[in-house]
A and B are shown apart, each in its own frame.
Chain A
Amino acid sequence: MKILAALFALLFANAAWADCPLDLGKGTGWVVFSDHYMIAFRPEPMRIEVGQPFSLLFNVCTKSNSPAELLMVDATMPEHKHPMNYRPTIVAGTNGRYRADGLVFHMPGRWELSIDVRAGEESERLTHDFILK
């Protein structure tokens, strides 16, 4: 519990990050962050099923509050070195909102999602693991 409180304190110590809306409309989702970026995202539909196409909705924020760009979203199964059979396309919205369409996790197991973002000259890859059953 103390760790969680410390994590939140760390996250929201910076005013720009405190302004970053994490709720993408359904009151649930995931957050990944680095020294420079904080990214909230959720799937649509809400439940990711093996073999079923889904989209991801993103909110990309930076610590400096400078505009950031979502460059690419991809996923692999690290154990099998298996990519997705599908290449998502990204549609930019306003205020750091993005939508990636056309993802399909075609097998159960661990999938590593890669999220490439850029603000100015700085680009970075953030990752998130899904365990699909």
Chain B
Amino acid sequence: MRRFLLSLILLATSSPAATQGLLDWSQDEVSAIERHGPWPPPPAHDPSNRVSGVPAAIALGEHLFNDPRLSADGRMSCATCHQAGRDWSDGRARGFGTADLDRRTPSLWNVGYAHWFGWDGAGDSLWAQSIRPILDRREMGGSAAEVGRLLRDDKALACGYERAFGNKVGDNDERLLVDAAKALAAFQATLVSPRTRFDAFRDAMVAGDRAAAARYTLPEQRGLRLFIGTGNCDTCHFGPRFTNGEFGDVGIAFFVRPGEVDSGRLGGLAKLAGNPFNLLGRYNDDASGASAQRTRHVQRLHANFGEFRVPSLRQVGRAAAYMHSGSLATLDEVVRHYSEVSPDRLHSDGTPLVRPLGLSPRQRTDLVAFLSSLDADAPPRPAPPPLCP
């Protein structure tokens, strides 16, 4: 008996993750968990971008991504703010360019699967969104003329362009700006986050492999149960990317400074409508028009004021600074926000989607444990291949 007890204790302490056990999951819960996978999804393809998925365009895009000559002063590239070593963000609460910005730099992980871009969704394609910071005076402050000149004058880039697009660099600067952005988009769409502890658990649950599922710790499981259950988090953080790709107001302060508000999606839709590079314009390569469906039908509602894009939660523990404004420093602060958010601030007419969850300290710890299980180390990136060896 003593020997049996001893071996039981040894078993329990030698491999904690393997022996913590499995919660009693209902079939509905297993179905809800299943909807957050499988991961990774098939490679993203954007029909509005004729070089989406083309290896030569991906290579050109990666070179351009790291090229500071896209900026007016030659000092800032896309990679200045979207750093591979910082999970394609900058590790700061708010972004910066030639001036400090009011929003956090979003990570580029899995950006190829999105359908709205930027915190306010002012971009309806990854390539259109890639044009914005190049031209924005507060960021790179570049111009179509400078991008055109760069592609024409740099022999390696000109050669890379010809390989990617199948024609020589022309003299239409606006067209070259769009093509550069399409190559940038082709590269960014390859940034797919690695599989995580959650994915292993999800697949084990779907396969009915209880032993493998039990490697997911009990705090992670309890946090997941809150996430898909009483927390109602998966209503917006839906699907394999943990986002429905749309917009919500989660009770973050409207004011960016005294007397000035960030209107979020409401302003984003106005910018979208006035953007010559949106999917209703002449640079959309999708002759079927199907890729422009959302842009054609999206409506601007009063409720859009103060709404921001629901971010993906993959690699969320590595974001450091959270929410569109970077106003919360840690995941624990984010969970505390949802635990204590003021219902008066959210003024919902119906049953509110976001309401104070009133979580206990252990529940908050469990939710953070679950969210952290959506992180994984990405393998080191090799240097981009030469454009024309």
Interchain CB contact (< 8 A) of A104 among B294, B301, B349, B352 = B294
Contact residue among B31, B235, B296, B351 (Cβ-Cβ distance under 8 Å from A107)? B235
Considering residues B235, B303, B352, which has the most beta carbons from chain A within 10 angstroms of its beta carbon?
A: B235
Stretch of A11-19, A64-72, A85-93 on the interface side: A85-93
- B239 near A80 (CB under 8 angstroms)? no
Decide: B350 and A51 in contact? CB cutoff 8 A: no
A106 contacts chain B at the CB level, 8 A cutoff: yes
Our count of residue pairs bridging A and B at CB distance below 8 angstroms stands at 67
Partner of A108, one of B235, B297, B349: B235
Q: Write out the residue numbers on chain A whose beta carbons fall within 8 Å of the beta carbon of B247.
A: 85
A108–B349 Cα distance when bound, in Å, is 19
Measured CA separation A82–B319 after assembly (Å): 30
Docked-complex contact A102 and B297, CB < 8 angstroms: yes
A96 in the interface (beta carbon within 8 A): no
- Other A-B contacts than A85-B301, A102-B293, A102-B294, 20 sampled, CB-CB below 8 A, are A50-B238, A51-B115, A51-B238, A51-B244, A51-B245, A53-B293, A53-B297, A79-B350, A80-B352, A85-B246, A85-B247, A85-B298, A86-B298, A87-B297, A87-B298, A88-B297, A102-B296, A104-B294, A108-B234, A108-B238
Complex Cα distance, B362 from A126, in Å, reads 48
Q: Does B86 contact A (CB under 8 A)?
A: no
B-side contacts of A80, CB under 8 Å: 348, 350-353
Does any Cβ of A come within 8 Å of B299's Cβ?
yes
Bound: A106/B234 CA distance, A: 12
Q: Which residues of B contact A102 (CB under 8 A)?
A: 293-294, 296-297
A interface residues with partner B (beta carbon < 8 Å): 50-51, 53, 77-89, 101-102, 104, 106-109, 133
Smallest CB gap from A107: residue in B: B235
Chain B nearest CB, measured from A54 CB (Å): 10
Interface contact B244-A106, CB-CB below 8 Å: yes
Alpha-carbon separation in the docked complex, A31 to B299 (Å): 28
- B298: chain A residues within 8 A (beta carbon): 85-87
Instruction: Write the B335-354 contact mask toward A (1 if CB under 8 angstroms, else 0).
Output: 00000000000001111110
Residues of B within 8 A of A82 (CB): 350, 353
Alpha-carbon separation in the docked complex, A55 to B239 (Å): 21
Residue of B nearest to A87 (CB): B299
For the complex formed, measure the closest distance between the CB of A36 and the CB atoms of chain B, giving whole angstroms: 29
Which chain B residues border A104 with CB–CB below 8 Å?
294, 297
Whether B299 contacts A86 by the Cβ 8 Å rule is yes
By the criterion CB–CB under 8 Å, are A85 and B299 in contact? yes
